[in-house]
Chains A and B, each alone.
Chain A
Amino acid sequence: MAADMRLPTIQKPVSLTFSAFDRKDLVVPGDVITSDTGFMRGHGTYVDEEKLTASVAGEVQRVDKLICVKPLKTRFNGEVGDVVVGRITEVQQKRWKVETNSRLDSVLLLSSVNLPGGELRRRSAEDELTMREYLQEGDLISAEVQSVFSDGALSLHTRSLKYGKLGQGVLVQLSPSLIKRQKTHFHNLTCGASMILGNNGFVWLYPTPEQLEEEAGGFYTSLEPVSVSDREVISRLRNCLLALAAHKVLLFDTSVLYCYESSVHHQVKDILKPEVMGEIVMLTQQKLLDQEG
């Protein structure tokens, strides 16, 4: 119960020695990438007196003649097919505005959601008036990016049974650049909880539902109390995610699972202490390297 007070120490990032082959080309805004005029400039660069200069802080990526800089910390730049977890901020006439950590609020059109009962019909005026019964301000949803508007805003859809309104669980907000692009972003982890790794950096942790979702695309949210053991798993996962994010480790199901396993002999609330975080992340990186090699 006693508060944990201590003097601050300078945090050293945990990184195992990488070979020179793995060394990345990191730049900061204003750094000259190349003076060769033969290259095309991509995102994150600009031309200053015939020299290609970086405009964001990140890693230089080169594809043939195209040079672009991928920033380390940025707002979410969505592409078609990305899975996102978002929060409803506004209910407008025929659409909802969803906050997805991008430069503009994303749009979820009424025609892009599944109606209760799974029926397929034209949306009527009555549907428009009962929009708030389905999704209110503050609700969380999982959706997929359908298209990108010309101004950069994303258009989302929940036209599959695996997307829809999210029920009980915990949301962790991280940087989008830490989420690895994978085939599937919905994971049922072996430790006893489920996770949705949104491409926009929002990670949703929730208790694994017992039976497969037969209930019309996530309309019914169960408000039954979650058991203490499930809660503990979810809290531990949340703290592990924060620990990995603090040390800039790429997040995907394996890394999160390894981090969970390395943290079992610590108490859940101790994981957020700096020295425990460093220890756990070191063990995780070790396991990941061993698995690759």
Chain B
Amino acid sequence: MATVQVSEAEKVYILHGIRDDLRVDGRGCEDYRHMEIETDVVSNTDGSAKVTLGDTAVLVGVKADIGKPRPMVPNEGYVEFFVDCSANATPEFEGRGGEELGTELSNTLYKVFNNKHSVDLKSLCISAGEHCWVLYVDVLLLQCDGNLYDAISVAIKAALFNTKIPRVHISADEEGGKEIELSDDPYDCVRLNVENVPCIVTLCKVGHRHVVDATLQEKACSVASLIISVTHKGTITCTRKVGGGSLDPESIFEMTEAGKRVGKALHAPLMKLLQQEESLGKARQKVGFLG
């Protein structure tokens, strides 16, 4: 992760501020920074989203391809994640520098989505044992100012909401084999149900309290963080501890409860915003990467 150097006195200042629930930029311990979400920014994907959280910017593209289902689960499709840390974000990511962080992020995403309910994999099946839809979710880090997991999870949820999978018809051809036909109409597509897609909340332990959406300076003052992925009902799908420091079992419980509360509160405004964006339709002014 990109790191900043902080002096001892600055650390003490940040620590005392968090203890008094007044962070450096005036937020409370459980407030997020200003978030901007836009979908359908990359034209050659089936679904895409760009999320800006403070100074962190993340771009997600979803491509749907037809593939062979996994042997253990022949009537389900699957999702593949790949995270690319671009050198745009920080010079540390140049060449292979960002690979370690990228693999760590994608492994966590696999864990978060590794359950029956997040994405309805049965709806991705075309013909059992032979063909299914594979969703390739590619994440690109454009700018890094702390709190990557949260931004990535919001962007994935928005991109999956925006994904349009073409409708397929299976017909038997002359030799008795199956032939797959894609519908000619570009607007004839299937949308995914993203109700149960979880959002990730990162809680950093600073002093005796925890903060949500930590900036790089606050991250430099914390020794341990807890990553929790929460669905809109408040169910936790994955918990992970990162960082070299130790966490007290009581504080883990406290942080988990706070994470559930904050995570649950993220879903409703996000879905409302996505539906609002969808309803604007052609009238929406696309901002993209300029402006």
Using CB atoms and an 8 Å cutoff, list the residues of chain A in contact with chain B. Answer: 1-11, 87, 89, 136-140, 166-171, 221, 223, 225-226, 228, 231-232, 235-236, 238-239, 267-269, 271-274
A167–B9 CB distance below 8 A? yes
A239 vs B285: C-alpha distance when bound (angstroms):
28
Selected contact of A272 from candidates B10, B34, B285, CB within 8 Å: B34
Selected contact of B33 from candidates A11, A136, A272, CB within 8 Å: A272
Residues from chain B with a CB closer than 8 A to the CB of A9 are 285, 287, 291
Using CB atoms and an 8 Å cutoff, list the residues of chain B in contact with chain A. Answer: 5-10, 12-13, 16-17, 19-20, 22-28, 30-38, 52, 262, 265-266, 269-270, 273, 276-277, 284-285, 287, 290-291
Selected contact of A3 from candidates B24, B28, B265, CB within 8 Å: B265
Selected contact of A5 from candidates B9, B12, B273, CB within 8 Å: B273
Identify the 6 closest CB pairs spanning chains A and B, nearest first.
Answer: A268-B26, A10-B291, A3-B32, A269-B26, A168-B13, A8-B36
B17–A87 CB distance below 8 A? no
Known contacts A3-B31, A5-B36, A223-B9; 15 further A-B pairs (Cβ under 8 A): A2-B265, A3-B32, A4-B35, A5-B273, A6-B273, A7-B276, A8-B52, A10-B291, A89-B5, A166-B7, A166-B9, A168-B9, A232-B26, A236-B26, A268-B26
Residues from chain B with a CB closer than 8 A to the CB of A10 are 285, 287, 290-291
- A-B contact count, CB below 8 Å? 118
Given contacts A5-B37, A7-B38, contact A235 B22 (CB under 8 A): yes
B10–A140 CB distance below 8 A? yes
Residues from chain B with a CB closer than 8 A to the CB of A231 are 17, 20, 22
A232 vs B25: C-alpha distance when bound (angstroms):
9
With both chains docked as a complex, state the minimum distance between the C-beta of B219 and any C-beta of chain A, in angstroms: 14
Selected contact of B24 from candidates A138, A166, A238, A271, CB within 8 Å: A238
A2 vs B270: C-alpha distance when bound (angstroms):
11
Mind listing 30 A-B residue pairs with CB under 8 Å?
Answer: A1-B28, A1-B30, A3-B32, A4-B34, A5-B36, A7-B273, A7-B277, A7-B287, A8-B37, A8-B38, A8-B52, A8-B291, A10-B290, A87-B5, A138-B6, A140-B9, A166-B7, A167-B9, A168-B12, A169-B13, A170-B24, A171-B10, A221-B8, A225-B19, A226-B16, A228-B20, A231-B22, A232-B26, A269-B26, A272-B25
Closest to A1 in B: B30
A199 vs B273: C-alpha distance when bound (angstroms):
42
A272 vs B112: C-alpha distance when bound (angstroms):
32
A117 vs B22: C-alpha distance when bound (angstroms):
36
With both chains docked as a complex, state the minimum distance between the C-beta of A206 and any C-beta of chain B, in angstroms: 9
Given contacts A3-B269, A7-B273, contact A140 B26 (CB under 8 A): no
With both chains docked as a complex, state the minimum distance between the C-beta of B151 and any C-beta of chain A, in angstroms: 11
Residues from chain B with a CB closer than 8 A to the CB of A274 are 34
Residues from chain A with a CB closer than 8 A to the CB of B269 are 2-3, 5
A126 vs B213: C-alpha distance when bound (angstroms):
45
A9 vs B285: C-alpha distance when bound (angstroms):
8
A221–B9 CB distance below 8 A? yes
A236 vs B27: C-alpha distance when bound (angstroms):
11
Among B16, B31, B287, residue most surrounded by chain A Cβ atoms (within 10 Å):
B16
Selected contact of B35 from candidates A3, A239, A269, A271, CB within 8 Å: A3
Selected contact of A269 from candidates B12, B25, B277, CB within 8 Å: B25
A8–B262 CB distance below 8 A? no
Among A5, A223, A225, residue most surrounded by chain B Cβ atoms (within 10 Å):
A5
Residues from chain B with a CB closer than 8 A to the CB of A225 are 16, 19
Closest to A228 in B: B20
A169 vs B38: C-alpha distance when bound (angstroms):
36
Selected contact of B7 from candidates A5, A8, A11, A138, CB within 8 Å: A138
Given contacts A1-B30, A10-B287, contact A239 B25 (CB under 8 A): yes
Residues from chain B with a CB closer than 8 A to the CB of A223 are 9, 12
Closest to B287 in A: A8
Residues from chain A with a CB closer than 8 A to the CB of B25 are 235, 238-239, 268-269, 272
A233 vs B187: C-alpha distance when bound (angstroms):
54
Residues from chain B with a CB closer than 8 A to the CB of A3 are 31-32, 35, 265-266, 269
Selected contact of A267 from candidates B26, B30, B33, CB within 8 Å: B26
A226 vs B13: C-alpha distance when bound (angstroms):
7
A167 vs B290: C-alpha distance when bound (angstroms):
39
Closest to B35 in A: A5
Given contacts A10-B287, A273-B34, contact A137 B20 (CB under 8 A): no
Residues from chain B with a CB closer than 8 A to the CB of A271 are 26
Among A136, A232, A272, residue most surrounded by chain B Cβ atoms (within 10 Å):
A272
A2 vs B268: C-alpha distance when bound (angstroms):
10
Selected contact of A1 from candidates B26, B31, B33, B287, CB within 8 Å: B31
Residues from chain A with a CB closer than 8 A to the CB of B35 are 3-6
Closest to B24 in A: A170
A239 vs B5: C-alpha distance when bound (angstroms):
21
Residues from chain A with a CB closer than 8 A to the CB of B34 are 4, 6, 272-274
A10 vs B52: C-alpha distance when bound (angstroms):
14
